Structure formats: structure tokens, C-alpha cells
Structure 1
């Protein structure tokens, strides 16, 4: 398993700067963000030379670009905002191969007009699901055109709010392009150990055939987010579930500052070792 981190954890606006920092902190992979190339996270245009510079910097740093972030609010209440996001997704997907990756991560979205990570009661209405299906069908067509996969992440605040709704989306769309990014800290806010383990086991059981990436952050006792190893998440159980599911993809840390990256790499490396999962450098 490759141990990775969000590239934008590190300051800098060139891929050489951020990718060397990721390697120095002990990681062998990154989930890239175009902000690390001095652009908007979802730019209107990406020059081919800009994308190739990412691949070149990754090779020099001995890192793998395991995904590029393509998150926008797929069910934003304003259709024009959704359409703009879709156009930018095509821009990103068209350059993914040049950057050295075939996975683009998405946000299934919320009806909140201001924050794509904030829950909204409208997320659970039938019209929100219909809009998500429409947006995902268009995104899948883009993925087919550019030979990439799309990674969605079950997230309490989004319309795909857990493993059951993620499985429903997979089954209704019927596309092999749709993959799962699993972050167990996004499956609960506050839960006792038994419920936490149930949720993580359910997610890996239901989604094992579509897992493309694991994420690694944590939950503090009050329900907030914190960095991996500093909260209540049962990492031995999470990693055991990934192992039982036959998952061999990357485990990518986020939700931390650059100053904590080395400590998080050490924590995750030790946890993987205890789980009997070899780390590919």
C-alpha cells in the first residue's frame, strides 16, 4: 500500500516545492490539487506544459500522483453553478493523464449554496438525488472521453452521506468509472466504539469492489476533525477492514498542517506495519 498525503498540505505554488516537501515528510504518493501549481483548484484552463510539469516533479521526487482533486458542488441549487463545475471537471479530466493519474475525486454536493461541505435538509429530498444522477451521468461521460475514473467520498454533510447511499448510486448508475474514496472519519461525528466499528465494517463490506483510495484523518471526542492518530478513530479496525476487503490502493492523509506531516507519516506507517500491510515506498 502506498502512503500518501494531500499535496496542498504543504505551502507553495509549484509542484516541485510541494512534492519534494511531501517526499521529505515520508510519503510516497499525493492527491494533487491544482492550487499547488498556482492555479484555482478547479481552473477554467490548464496548459499541457503545466500538467506535464506535475508529472515531471513527481518523478523527480519519487512520488506517485494517485489522484487529482476535482471537487465542486454537484447539486448546488443554482444550475449554472453546477454547469460551470462540470465544464471545469472536463478541463481537469483532460489533463489528468498528463499529470500521471487516472483518478479524479469529486464532491457529491449539498443544497447549501455557500459551502459544499455543509449539510442541508434539502440533501435528502428526491429532487436532490435526481440532480445528482444527472450530474454524475454527465461526469461519467467526461470520464469515458478522457479515460479516467471518478472517486466519490461518502460524507455526512453531502447527498451521498454514507455507505448505503454510495452503494445505491453505484448500482443506479451502473458505470465501472465510478469509484469510492473511503474516509472512516466522515462516517460519524460522535459514535461509541461499537457503532464506529459497525459503520466502518459496513462501508468496506458494501463498497469493497469499488474502493480506489483510503483517506486518513480523525475525529476528536467532541465530533470535530483532527489529524490521524490524535482522535478516537479505531485505526487498527479500519486497516483490518481494508485488508480483509483486499484493498491495495493508497492511504492518503489530510486534515493536518505541514508541521505535523512527518509525525502523521510515522503514525500511519507504524499502524500499517502492525496490521501486517506492507508499505510501498
Structure 2
């Protein structure tokens, strides 16, 4: 059994917390990964805007629909090459760590960013220098997480310095803390050349650092012109039954986020997942 979760911004036409609560409940979901700026673009949500009252109000409104924020998103380019911009982004993340408990969240999530101003694939991310820079930043954020009593959830991916299982292990060795967790998105770690090995990758991840995995993103995909293209769960190539079985074995009741599955496709995805769970 798993705690299936959706991103708030995968629901279309939602402009208020009340609408988010209603639409989430309609899909049969009880957990959200909430990106404030993406779900509510008119709500100021920068470093200086978050406050305990905001968190409490959103938490209370969602609870009326039996919905909670499991993961608070603060996806930033934490190794932005401009020092001033970087500092602003890190202060925003630290503000989210301080305030996440008022929203009821278990963690604040981000990827690790890119050596370029815009996050995209570049082999420059794969250098030891980029990795060392990233480690220093995460060490700072984890210290803030320790002070706030809040998990820092870091998501690896091929567009970042944290691009492989080996690099994840190196990060965990470099930053030893109960407040550093890994959000595993196996679709972010595959290419059109090795996607057939995705299930084995998930198994290896749990074998190597499963104790640090705090959530999993389940993102289905197709391959077009040698590119991984996200689609609704059940419409692509991901072996969701095998992957969810691995998660349930190692981390029962873990947050599993149906990333990029949109609107009424969420109900269909849940039916597929429940059917796969029911099989012996």
C-alpha cells in the first residue's frame, strides 16, 4: 500500500485553495506536492512572503476535504552562476524550510540546479567542481533544515550535478544528516538508450540508499526523436506495476507522486495502480 500523491499544478483551472481541495478530493487523492507559485501565481510566495498564518489557512482549507500537503515544493537553481541570484534562491528555500510545518508538510523539495542560468542538459554539470559546489550548498540547506526540524528532499536528474546513483551516494557520504532525503524520480535518470533498465535502476537505488529515499515520483513517458516525453500514467512505457511493487516492499505507505498525470487521468491512473496492487 502506498500514499499516492499529485502535484497541485497538474490540476487545470484551479485558482483558489478551495478549488484545489475540491478537485484533489474528486480525484480520490489525499496528498499533495504543492508548489505555491505554480498553483497560485497571484499569491506572493517568495522568501519574505511566507508566514505561519498562510500555512495554517491553507492547511485548514485542505483538511476540510481530507487533503494534506505531504511535500512543499521549492524548486530552485541552487547552484545558479550569479552569486546574488543564487543567494536569493537559497534564502527562499530556507524560508520554506522554516514555514513548511505550518502547511503540514513533511519535507521541502528541490532539484539541484544547473551551472547555467537556465536549467537544461549540459555536460558541464558532470564535473567534480560542479558537484563540490552543489555539496556545499546542500550542506547549508540541510543545516537550515536541521534547525527547522524539516526534511530537505533532493531530487536527482540528468540535467543536474546529481545525475546518477553513484553521485547520490557521494552526496549522502558528504552530507551526513537525518534531515537530508532523496526524492527518487527514475524517469529523470534514464535516456532513450537505457530506459529498458529503469526497473533495475529503481531496485539498485533502494538497495544502495533506500533508507534515505523519502518519496518517489512516478512519471510515465514515451520516446520521440530520442527524447523522453512525459505522458499520463498508463499511456507510456513505464513499468509502474514493477516499480510500485519495489517501493511498497522497501517503503510501505511512502509518498508516490503521479507527476505529469493530469486532471481526470488521475482517476484512471489510480485504477491501474490499484489493479496492479491487487494482483498476487
Same fold (TM over 0.5): yes
Match of 1:254 among 253, 259, 265: 259
Q: Deviations over 1:177-221 (max 9, x none)?
A: 111111221121224675223222212212210111111111203
Q: Deviations over 1:33-86 (max 9, x none)?
A: 113344356554213221111110221010121110011011111122221111
The 1-side partners of 2:195 and 2:160 are apart by 24
Q: Which residue of 2 aligns with 1:33?
A: 35
Within the alignment, does 1:98 sit opposite 2:91 as a pair?
A: no
Q: How does 1:56-135 map to 2 (within 5 A)?
A: 56-114=60-118, 116=119, 118-135=120-137
SS in 2 for 1:77: coil
The alignment's TM-score, normalised by the length of structure 2, stands at: 0.90
Compute the displacement of 1:153 (Å). 1.2
Deviation larger for 142-151 or 253-262:
253-262
Q: Which residue of 1 aligns with 2:250?
A: 245
Q: How does 1:1-281 map to 2 (within 5 A)?
A: 1-10=2-11, 11-35=13-37, 36-37=39-40, 38-39=42-43, 42-114=46-118, 116=119, 118-191=120-193, 194-222=196-224, 223-274=228-279
Deviation larger for 248-257 or 81-90:
248-257
Unaligned runs of 5+ in 1: 277-281
The 1-side partners of 2:196 and 2:219 are apart by 19
SS in 1 for 2:278: helix
The 1-side partners of 2:99 and 2:9 are apart by 18
SS in 1 for 2:140: helix
Deviation larger for 118-127 or 143-152:
118-127
The alignment's TM-score, normalised by the length of structure 1, stands at: 0.90
Contact residue 150 and residue 178 of structure 1 kept, 8 A: yes
- 1:191–1:229 distance in 2 versus 1, CA, 3 Å: farther
Compute the displacement of 1:257 (Å). 2.6
Contact residue 55 and residue 100 of structure 2 kept, 8 A: yes
Compute the displacement of 1:236 (Å). 2.0
Compute the displacement of 1:261 (Å). 2.5
SS in 2 for 1:224: strand
The 2-side partners of 1:193 and 1:172 are apart by 29
Compute the displacement of 1:147 (Å). 0.8
Unaligned runs of 5+ in 2: none
SS in 1 for 2:75: strand
- 1:154–1:194 distance in 2 versus 1, CA, 3 Å: same
Contact residue 152 and residue 181 of structure 2 kept, 8 A: yes
The 2-side partners of 1:205 and 1:41 are apart by 37
What CA RMSD, in Å, does the superposition of the two structures yield over aligned residues?
A: 1.9
The 1-side partners of 2:45 and 2:233 are apart by 24
